[in-house]
Structure 1
Amino acid sequence: MGTRVTIGDFSVMTGFSKKALRHYHDIGILEPAHIDAHTGYRFYDTSQVDNAHIIRRFRALDMSIPDIKALLSTGDAAVRTDIITGHLRQMEHQLKQTQDAVATLRELLAPTMPSTPVVLRHEPASTIWTMSATVEIADIEAWFASSLRRIRVALTTSGTRLSGPIGGIYQRELFADGLGGAQLFMPAAPDTGTPSMFQVETLPPTDFAVVTHAGDHRGLERSYGTLGTYVHDHLISHEGPIREYYVGAPPSDPTAFTATEICWPVFTVNAAR
């Protein structure tokens, strides 16, 4: 035990205002060593200064109150390490999001990406294996990643080698209303049984305007904007679903794509055939 001090002196020693100290008392994270029963005055112990500094430091790093309480209440070094490591991972994730946002803003201020060419393509009718879901647009990335993992497992288990890239089909309602149909598909391998998670469908022949988005899906909306602008400026848009093809993957793992072909349906483009 140290020496008992008033809340005012403790405020000077810790950098916390009286209001902040009262708040931390109310939520049980830094309770006074003694409260005068007659006056209600709060008194602290000098031995609490270190904990106050810990609280201040971790609050400055946006650690949550429950995590700080857990950190202060345990004497287990392993538990403390887990809490701090977990918060560090969260900060790294937030930093990555901030860096991506900054890069996007810089790009908008001074675009450096080269203009992506739009090509016209006719896709003939084809038989596919497909897995479908009704998805909220906010969940589309998680659904996409989960579905790719399932496809990878199915292909690895069956030993199937695909004759073409994996693709996606996205209904217009998904974009316009935030909820709609989404499919991942792959070309049906001849003379091979259909994996249980897939349905067999036939894609109709369709004409597309196509733009290729390199890399992962960061900035994909800009490629969509480029393609949509070109279609409406130069072609006649068709109201069918948007199709994507995930290309550049090695034969050993067709889910490890390196680019996405975005295919916007248009009315017949004979020159592309």
Structure 2
Amino acid sequence: MYKISEFAEMTGLSKETLRYYAEVKLLEPAYIDQSNHYRYYDDGSYFLALLLSKLRGFGFTIQEMIAVMEDQSFEHLEDLLMKKRASIRGQIDELLARIGEIDEFLASGREERSDD
């Protein structure tokens, strides 16, 4: 069992994030000592924390992460990851289109100045 500070260091998640994840029932401690209210995590919690950290890095919302954790079989995880990938690809395409518009706008401004 790991105290919250040890667990935070192991997983790269802050103590505040771990407390929040417990509050929203995303990742609850394996044990809470009733005498001092210290939170303890186990090896199973470690793997779930790594998964949550990875999902957060992929841009999953808290609600999406809760949906993944509620589906304990992780049967739909691949589908969710593919949807997230498509969403990110769409965002990239939109950003590239904006860059193209900016480039065109800059080029038209340069042409106007050179005509003067």
Q: TM-score range by the shorter chain?
A: 0.7 to 0.9
After superposition, residues 243-262 of structure 1 pair within 5 angstroms as none
Q: 2:85 aligns with which of 72, 83, 88?
A: 88
**Alignment RMSD:** 2.1
Q: Given the two structures, how large is their TM-score scaled by the length of structure 1?
A: 0.37
Counterpart secondary structure, 2:6 = helix
User: In the alignment, which residue of structure 2 is the partner of 1:27?
Assistant: 24
Q: Which has the higher strand share?
A: 1
Partner of 1:44: 41
- 1:82: Cα distance to partner? 1.8
Q: Percent identity?
A: 27
Give yes or no for contact 2:52–2:65 (8 Å, CA) kept in 1.
yes
Q: Distance between the aligned counterparts of 1:109 and 1:57, measured in 2? A: 39
The higher-RCO structure (CA 8 Å, 6+ apart) is: 2
Distance 1:40 1:111 in 2: 65
- Residue 15 of structure 1 and its aligned partner are, at CA, apart by 0.3
Alignment of 1:77-116 (within 5 A): 77=75, 79-111=76-108
Work out whether 1:71 is the aligned partner of 2:68.
Answer: yes
Q: Deviations over 1:105-159 (max 9, x none)?
A: 22222349x9xxxxxxxxxxxxxxxxxxxxxxxxxxxxxxxxxxxxxxxxxxxxx
Matched, 1:56 2:53: yes
Distance 1:12 1:69 in 2: 23
Deviation at 1:13, TM superposition (A): 0.5
The one-letter code of the counterpart of 2:61 is S
Q: Which shows bigger deviation, 31-40 or 101-110? A: 101-110
Return the index of the structure with the highest Cα Rg.
1
Query: Comparing 22-31 with 82-91, which one deviates more in the overlay?
Result: 82-91
Counterpart Cα distance in 1 of 2:74 and 2:45: 19
Quote the offset at 1:33 in angstroms.
0.6
How far off its partner does 1:37 sit? Answer: 1.2
Unaligned runs of at least 5 residues, structure 2 = 112-116
The aligned counterpart of 1:8 is 5
For residues 100 and 37 of structure 1, the distance between their equivalents in structure 2, rounded to whole angstroms, comes to 56
TM-score, normalised to structure 2's length? Answer: 0.82
Paired position in structure 2 for 1:266: none
Unaligned runs of 5+ in 1: 115-273
Tell me what 1:267 maps to: none
* Number of equivalenced pairs: 110
Does the CA-based 8 Å contact 2:68-2:74 persist in structure 1? no
- Work out the CA distance in 2 between the residues paired with 1:58 and 1:49: 14
Query: How do residues 232-251 of structure 1 correspond to structure 2 at under 5 angstroms?
Result: none
